[in-house]
A and B are shown apart, each in its own frame.
Chain A
Amino acid sequence: MMNKEKIRADFPMIQSEFEKGRIYFDSAATSFKPKCVIDKVVEYYTKESANIHRGDYDLSYQVSSEYETVRKLCAKFLNAKSENEIVFTSGASSSLNLVAYGYGQKFLKADDIILSTEAEHASNILPWFKVSEVTGARIEYIPLDKEGIFDLEAYKKVLSDLGNKIKVVTLAHVSNVLGNIVPIKEVTRLAHEVGAVVVCDGAQSVPHIKVDVQDLDVDFLCFSSHKMLGPSGVGVLYGKYELLDVMDPFMLGGGSNARFDICGNILLKNPPFKFEAGTPCVEGVLGFGEALKYLMDIGMENVEEEGRELHKYFLEEMLKLDNVIVYNPKSETSIVTFNVKDIFAQDVACYLNSQGIAVRSGNHCAKILLNVIGASETIRASLYLYNTKEEVDRAIEVIKGVTLEKCIGASI
């Protein structure tokens, strides 16, 4: 069991005057940061300001070496074969776009197939729309079951129907709307049988469950630091080295090339450096390193177990409420997506805000999925390791008492 009090004490937001008595149930959007992360970011600006990979002075060397240490730590966190498989980006969206541009646009051809689902976040489907437009490859969707959940049998059928025309399978490991875990290891094994590469959107999985890239065998994994206790402005693209090696960078510029000449010849550096043109978010990467250490100290197994238990409790309590429709009764991690019967999601979310509870309403950037589950807008409550059962109890009491009159009252 985790020591909740100790964990909560580590988060200045939770201890802040503003948050006192409030409940933050929007960690799927972004998480709070522990003090060690914040201190590290500040420390860079107060004690370590220097660019990386450049200067010939002690401080630059020290910061470069710390920056590269975070890369090694991240490789260890994911059990990657080498730190050279870890590319720092500005976030999961940037990582996903980089794969679509650098791999998809380079290697896909007309009539190739990109396989995905209708449950994807905009950041994992719109870049592939572009690949399709540029290359003529077409996007096919694996049918979801009636609750919007990934269906392994349906996937197998698509694989057997379309076979080796499928070049890319791109999927969220955990849906940002429904919180279900896709069996990505099996998905990957089957995709490899038809010769497709697997792009895994790990934005909602890496923060919550143990992800071992060698075990899952995914070809690419994309995620953000800010959803897993780290600073915003930093993300990771994990890619198998041989794929990164043949991929194009999204941007060219300082730091990504070894040399170039007046004739236009460019000799790019090796991965991961060829993808990191320009000065990166140095303080963010250093802070991300502290977030990784924080999670590794607790142990991702414990983060996962605690997350599942808290989620199970929240879900069970929500399912008892007569005035609530839960759209993901089988979800396993973090996210409960619901509506209060007969009240527009945004009105409920605003009322919950007036009661000190932060949730998100809308379509959560997964606009196709809402057609599947039959709701144009939903409310998403997403929890993380600093949330407690007591907060769940208080939220349940408030949700139980939501009425349309109260919702309007909260806005006037």
Chain B
Amino acid sequence: MMDELLKRDIILDHYQNPRNKREVNDGSYLKNHMAADSCIDDITVYVKIVDDKIEDIAFDGVGCTISTASTSIMTELLTEKTVDEALAIIGEYEKMIAEEDFDADKLAEANAFDTLSKQANRIKCGLIGIEGIKELLERYKDGKQ
């Protein structure tokens, strides 16, 4: 399990300096507005996929520390990955949140949330942006079929 101070620093860093946080107005990006589940976090995610590969991911909106940092970390993790690789990483993250066995090596800084499952009221925060990305990746795959 990741050291608690290190976890805190990672989350603080991604909250205060979120990566890839910007509004995107570009039709080549898939877009998902995640606001229906919660009246607090209001996050939009954008993914640009070229030939099954994630060329760019961004997000924007208002969120708490956990939703902002988890989304920020995941955008870094998934950039340049293929859609299937990205879905596999998200799968490991979901297992971690569900307290199942997971591959920590795949999650890098996202391991900062390895005890988030203990805080039932924050689980949704740790998933909102990431589930938004997952939906876009699945939409891409469905669209290809």
Contacts and interface: CB of A to CB of B under 8 A. Distances in A.
Interface of A: 344-347, 350, 353, 361-363, 365, 367, 376-377, 404-405, 407-412
Given A350-B119, A353-B121, A408 B40 contact: no
Nearest to A348: B64
A410 B11 CA distance: 12
A134 B145 CA distance: 42
Nearest to B7: A412
Nearest to B112: A412
A362 B121 contact: no
28 contacts: A344-B63, A346-B125, A347-B64, A347-B65, A350-B64, A350-B121, A361-B40, A362-B39, A362-B40, A365-B39, A367-B39, A376-B62, A404-B12, A404-B15, A404-B65, A405-B8, A407-B65, A408-B12, A409-B4, A409-B8, A410-B119, A411-B65, A411-B119, A411-B125, A412-B7, A412-B112, A412-B115, A412-B119
B122 interface: yes
Contacts of B116: 411-412
B9 to A, nearest CB: 9
Interface in B58-109: 62-66
Chain B interface, >50% SS class: helix
A366 B64 CA distance: 19
Interface of B: 4, 7-8, 11-12, 15, 39-41, 62-66, 112-113, 115-116, 119, 121-122, 125
Given A361-B40, A412-B4, A412-B113, 7 more contacts: A344-B65, A346-B41, A363-B39, A405-B8, A408-B12, A409-B4, A412-B8
B39 A411 contact: no
B143 to A, nearest CB: 33
Contacts of A412: 4, 7-8, 11, 112-113, 115-116, 119
A57 to B, nearest CB: 47
A296 B105 CA distance: 63
Contacts of B65: 344, 347, 404, 407-408, 411
B121 A408 contact: no
Nearest to B119: A411
B8 A408 contact: yes
Contacts of A410: 119
A176 B48 CA distance: 43
B100 to A, nearest CB: 19
B64 A346 contact: yes
Nearest to A122: B39
Nearest to A344: B64
Contacts of A363: 39-40
A304 to B, nearest CB: 31
Nearest to A363: B39
B66 A411 contact: yes
A283 B54 CA distance: 57
A350 B67 CA distance: 13
A331 B113 CA distance: 39
Nearest to A410: B119
Contacts of A411: 11, 65-66, 116, 119, 122, 125
Contacts of A405: 8, 12
A344 B15 CA distance: 11
B126 to A, nearest CB: 8
6 closest A-B pairs by CB? A346-B64, A344-B64, A412-B7, A411-B122, A362-B40, A347-B65
B5 to A, nearest CB: 9
B40 A346 contact: yes
Contacts of B7: 412
Contacts of B41: 346
Contacts of A361: 40
